[in-house]
Amino acid sequence: MRHIRTLTAVVAAAFVTLALPHAARAANSAPAIAAFDAAFAKVTSFTYKLHSHEVQGTNSQDRVYDYSFMKPHFAKTLIESGDGSGSGGVWAGGNQVSGHQGGFLSGIHLKVDLHDHRAVSLRGYTIPQGLPQMIVATYQNTKGVLKQSAGGKIDGVETTVLDLKVADPASNDGVTEQELWLSNATHFPLREIYYAGKEVVLDQSFTDYNFHANLTQNDFPF
């Protein structure tokens, strides 16, 4: 449940990412984004773990999410550990999430608004905002200066890093700079950091990718 507020704008931008050809999209570009687009086009479903640390004011939140995704727009999460452990949700496109809480309430499923406080993280990030393609979309569609460089190794894998200096932090939930490390092997995200000035307000890592999950719509009960 990694990706990023101006929630409506980011989700809308992500839909554009899935629906329009690359040439029709606006804003930033980089070879690493094109490489991700090509890699994403080759998979139909996948799973991964999202390890997320978020800070909002004096509060912080640490979670590990189990994520599943199937094209065109099905996503499922389960909070494996951390605040809300055992809770999960399914997004099938649109503005609702079907979810359940952990513990003895796990058998009770409710449909709530995508941005309902029970369905978002500490900083208000939604289920679809933790999807790799939607995260990459923010680097294309957030106004600012985007640079690409060698990112070094993460867990032995060479990476490329995108660094985005945000032009208008006030419209980007106060985030002034975003960094995204993509694997040079798979071209999918491995780590992301958000800064508000010098403070790290989001630090998330992506692990355990399975690009051969062979998921079906039955895996996303809504």
pLDDT attached to residue 86: 93
Distances (CA, A) of 52 to 81, 112, 172: 10, 23, 19
pLDDT attached to residue 107: 57
Q: Name the percent of the chain lying above pLDDT 70.
A: 85
Residue 166 tokens read as 């945000």
pLDDT tens readout for residues 134-154: 999 999 999 999 999 999 999
Distant-in-sequence contacts of 97-105, Cβ < 8 A, 24+ apart:
97/126, 97/127, 98/221, 98/222
pLDDT tens readout for residues 33-74: 999 999 999 999 999 999 999 999 999 999 999 999 999 999
State how far the Cα of 73 lies from the Cα of 50, in Å rounded to an integer.
Answer: 18
Distances (CA, A) of 105 to 1, 13, 80, 99: 20, 34, 16, 11
pLDDT tens readout for residues 67-119: 999 999 999 999 999 999 999 999 999 999 998 887 544 556 789 999 999 89
pLDDT attached to residue 108: 63
Average pLDDT over residues 19-28: 48
| Domains delineated in the chain | 7-219 (2.50.20.10)
Other CB atoms within a 10 A radius of the CB of residue 124 amount to 15
Residue 153 tokens read as 């190794």
